[in-house]
Amino acid sequence: MSSAFYKDISHSDRKRWVCIYPAYINSKKSRAEGRRVPIEKAVDTPTVQEMKDVLLAAGFASTFGIERSFYSREGSKEPQYIGRVRLQLKNDKGDPLNPEFPTRDSVLLHLGEMIPKLKSRTQQKQSIEQQASQSTSSSKKKGKGRR
């Protein structure tokens, strides 16, 4: 589409909002598979729900929406990979709505930083660690039996 088309559409029009797929911040994806942040800033298999939680906490309550859409580079069509966030970054004048997040990249880096700190992630990690410690302490080494 030409840039003349976008001059007639204001920034508050949903067509102008940026799209963010979970693959953009997924540490299990390569750059060719769609990751857009450095691997050390990426998150292990993020979900749209986690992205929603972080954006709500960052103050984007009325300026984002969730859409049911597949990412074109995603090989799997499983339900966990469905969805994207559509986010308004600029007002009608072209100024950032939130000075902390002037660009899509700043939002991606914020998501990569905050998703691992979510309560659901920390509780899940703790329960996995507890299960691992219980299984190692409860398993006993068997000696040689009678022959």
The CATH number given to whatever domain includes residue 83 is 3.30.56.30
Pick from 21-35, 46-60, 80-94: least confident: 80-94
Q: Is the pTM value of this prediction over 0.85?
A: no
pLDDT tens, residue by residue, 73-124: 887 777 777 899 999 998 888 888 889 999 999 999 999 999 999 988 877 7
Is 128 within the bounds of a domain? no
Is 71 domain-assigned?
yes
Q: Which domain holds residue 112?
A: 8-119
* Total of domains in the chain: 1
**Rg of the chain (C-alpha set):** 21
Residue 49 belongs to what H/E stretch? helix 48-57
